[in-house]
Amino acid sequence: MARRVRFRVLDGVAVVTLDAPPVNALSQDLRAGLWAAFRKVAQEDHIKGAVLLGSGALFSAGADISEFDTGPGQPDLSQLCALIEDLPKPVVVAAQGQALGGGFELMLAAHYRLAAPKARMGLPEVALGLVPGAGGTQRLPRLIGAEKAIQLMVSTNAVEADVARRIGLLDGVVEGDLASGAVRFAQGLVAHGRAPRRTRDERARMADAAAHFAAVAKARTALADNPLHAPQRVIDCVEAAALLPFEAGLAFEADAFDRCMAHPQSVALRHVFVAERRIDDALLERHDGSFRTVDPMGKAAVARLQKAMRAAAQTLVAQGLSEDAVDGAMVSYGFRKGPFGGRHAGADGAQIARRIVAAMVAEGGACVTQGAVQRPADVDVLAVHGLGFPRRMGGPMRAAQTDGLIALRRDMRDWAKDNDLWAVPEVLDTAIKQASGFDGIG
């Protein structure tokens, strides 16, 4: 059994503990350990039930994001959830701290759910441009109904334990020692002959088909102007939960997850997420749950990018475009306001935005070459947090890579004939020579 999972038996109840601090990310090693543990629970007659716990300050922060680009390996989380749900013996999950993403999906697959008073749980995958991929979109509406399920997933917010119990996600909130309380709860289930209670079989919250589909339609209307791809896919999956048998619903969700993984928005959002955690703290720091640029190095780099953006905008105006057209193009691209302060989206501004972003790429490349930042991804994170660059685009360097670096270099060479603001940076030439583009630099 993998070292990342601890296993013991107390009076007929197996106690399985995630042991991969500090966040108990559900890596392949940890999943393999859980698989072995729950197979043991299934096979050994003296084990009558099980409790799943997390070591440390939180239950689990969810998937190991490093596996997103390499594939999860076996068993994947969906298979593990199915194994737990199918067990013929009651399984109790007890969470402390946070149970997010895949960690919460493990809870949904279990037969009974407990939490510490300050625990929080949720499915924030939309923040990475994804839908939950281990049955979350199918099990959650079975427990709390379509409206609350969609709201929880689309908002990316976590729900507190007392609220979770009130809406039907938890069977209880444990005061005092969580592990002891969970074991006692499981022993009580065994003593009273309580059978597994499988979430997939719960239909009461979806029994009113009209209400279910009304909630789906209401959510679609509310998100009609939302530029993000993943929320709409979440709604599709919740709709499928009522239309399809459970296994078919899982397949629908898996397809939606794969499509989201390949979508440029998810690529960009995951890129920013990883880059935020790699950037030097002399450039960007985390403060009260959000990121801010650091003075002097981070703010100096942001100022350079801002200057390039402003200069490109002024050059376009000098060439005959109106300030409103430039502002409208950048607002349509995803900025909250344009270089000249306008806040209204315009039409047909893609080429305007392309030229302005290209100027930021040129300056960002210079920042890398001169050592102002370590890597192109640093430029992206600073642009997102310092300039309001739309996160779903991933920053100027990521956006350029998504659109195609070779075509951008060709255009920049033409634009640079009139203004060296678009001079092709050495870093762009280097990125074109690598299969991974800017991602392979630094």
Domain assignments of the chain as residue spans, ordered by start: 5-262, 280-440
Is the pLDDT at 1 greater than 70? The verdict is no
- 280-440 is a CATH 1.10.1040.50 domain: yes
pLDDT for position 305 = 98
pLDDT at 159: 97
- Mean pLDDT over residues 36-44, rounded? 97
pTM: 0.95
Write down the residue that tokens 């956006």 correspond to. 399
SS (H, E, C) 397-424: HHHHHHHCHHHHHHHHHHHHCCCHHHCC
pLDDT digits (tens, 9 = 90+) for 188-203: 999 999 999 999 999 9
Catalytic status, residue 105? yes
- 220 — pLDDT class (breaks 50, 70, 90): very high
Question: Residue 14 pairs with which residues in a beta bridge?
Answer: 9, 50
Token reading at 313: 């905008």
**Catalytic residue at 125?**
yes
Q: How large is the greatest C-alpha to C-alpha distance in the chain, in angstroms? A: 82
* Candidates 125, 147, 253, 363; catalytic one: 125
Tokens of residue 117, six digits? 């008073």
Q: Would you state the CATH architecture of domain 5-262? A: Alpha-Beta Complex (3.90)
pLDDT confidence band for 389 (50 / 70 / 90) = very high
Closest among 2, 104, 4, 8 to 50, alpha carbons compared = 8
| Contacting residues for 1 by C-beta, under 8 A, at least 6 apart | 7, 33, 36, 37, 40
DSSP bridge partners of 6: 17
| Residue 12 pLDDT level (bands cut at 50, 70, 90) | very high
Measured between alpha carbons, how far is 239 from 201 in angstroms, rounded to an integer? Answer: 17
Catalytic residue among 85, 105, 147, 363: 105
